Amino acid sequence: MNGSLQPLLKVVGDTLTGERLHMVERAYLTAAHWHRGQRRRSGEPYITHPVAVAAILAELGMDHEVLCAALLHDVLEDTDCPEQELVRGFGEPVVRLVRDMAALRDPRQVPAIWASETGERVLMLKLADRLHNLRTLRWLPEAKRRRTARQTLETFAPVAGRLGLGRLEQELERLSIANLPGGEGVQASFGVISAGATLLPREARARWLEEWLGELHTLPGRWPRIRFAVQLVSGMPRLAITLRRWDARDGHPRPGMAAVRGAGLRCLRWVLASDVRTWSLLMPLVAWLVLDTAGERLGDAVTILITVPPVLAAGVRALRTRLGERDGRG
């Protein structure tokens, strides 16, 4: 199987087997055949887009028919593939999903109530398609980026919220806002904050990130946002320890967590005891932030490169002090 399908297979794991897995693989081969020679604005082969959409849906636990429809979702509109060929190969239910999704290509051209009258599986397909397009929005002209961002905030993010997809809703909102006027510096600053927030307990992380994103958008300009991000990241270790120690609901230690917390602290102490181990973990994070931001805003990438390592170093020192550790050695 071509390596281009690996991102999807990695997410699917062993949840699909037998004929269902074979059907998904055939859908990939069919899409790759009909999209051959086509490329995205980024220069990547077009097939990378339907694979990414299918991977998003696999992360959301969607079934094999939806994954097939995701892989095939642009075949009927963007290639010369006959519809009956898809029906023979994958059945009417899959092709109906593709057709119904195509009907939502532009919400301005369909009834205003499309979101409430469309089946959930079709909406999931459309949301995953829009999410991946937003993730790669930097390759589009500025006017189209802004138009897509506004449309997403007005239509798609609320649909994700109605379906109970809070994390997907937040990412749609964050990516959209970062591409609207006044969003300068938001994406880079929020990327730094999100990276630091990986220290926080998973169940508390989304709530704090949502609050901090709102704060970023109230600040006037790039540098106040960068200063805000730096201050947050430098205090992230202390907040992480506080949140992990106390239950947010009643202020008492979480039952059954003592052993896990003890093992986590021992691991953390071992990492902090060595500068080599500490920075071996942190520098790939910094490199990822710089490279990811540089693709869209080189100035923000330089700012991250200059400001984030000293902030992380201060956070490491604060955490070592809190845990009673001396400065790390090689």
* Contact predicate 129/71, CB 8 Å: no
Q: Which residue type, as a one-letter code, is found at position 23? A: M
pLDDT at 72: 97
What tokens does 124 get? 């999931």
* Contact predicate 189/228, CB 8 Å: yes
Highest mean pLDDT among 20-29, 239-248, 302-311: 20-29
pLDDT at 180: 73
pLDDT at 256: 46
Tens of pLDDT, residues 34-49: 999 999 988 889 999 9
Backbone angles phi, psi at 45, to 5 degrees: -55, 140
What is the rounded distance in angstroms from the CA atom of residue 149 to the CA atom of residue 203? 28
What is the rounded distance in angstroms from the CA atom of residue 143 to the CA atom of residue 149? 10
pLDDT at 131: 93
Q: Which of 282, 245, 271, 246 is nearest to 325 (CA)?
A: 271
Residue with the larger pLDDT of the pair 27 and 265? 27
Residue with the larger pLDDT of the pair 263 and 139? 139
Tens of pLDDT, residues 264-323: 567 667 777 788 877 777 777 677 667 766 665 676 677 777 777 877 777 777 777 777
pLDDT at 26: 96
The mean-pLDDT minimum among 18-22, 86-90, 183-187 falls in 183-187
What is the rounded distance in angstroms from the CA atom of residue 53 to the CA atom of residue 133? 9
Active site residues: 77-78
Instruction: State the first-to-last Cα distance of the chain, in angstroms, to the nearest integer.
Output: 44
What is the rounded distance in angstroms from the CA atom of residue 138 to the CA atom of residue 304? 19
Please name the residue that has the structure tokens 């119904």.
Answer: 100
pLDDT at 249: 45
pLDDT at 82: 94
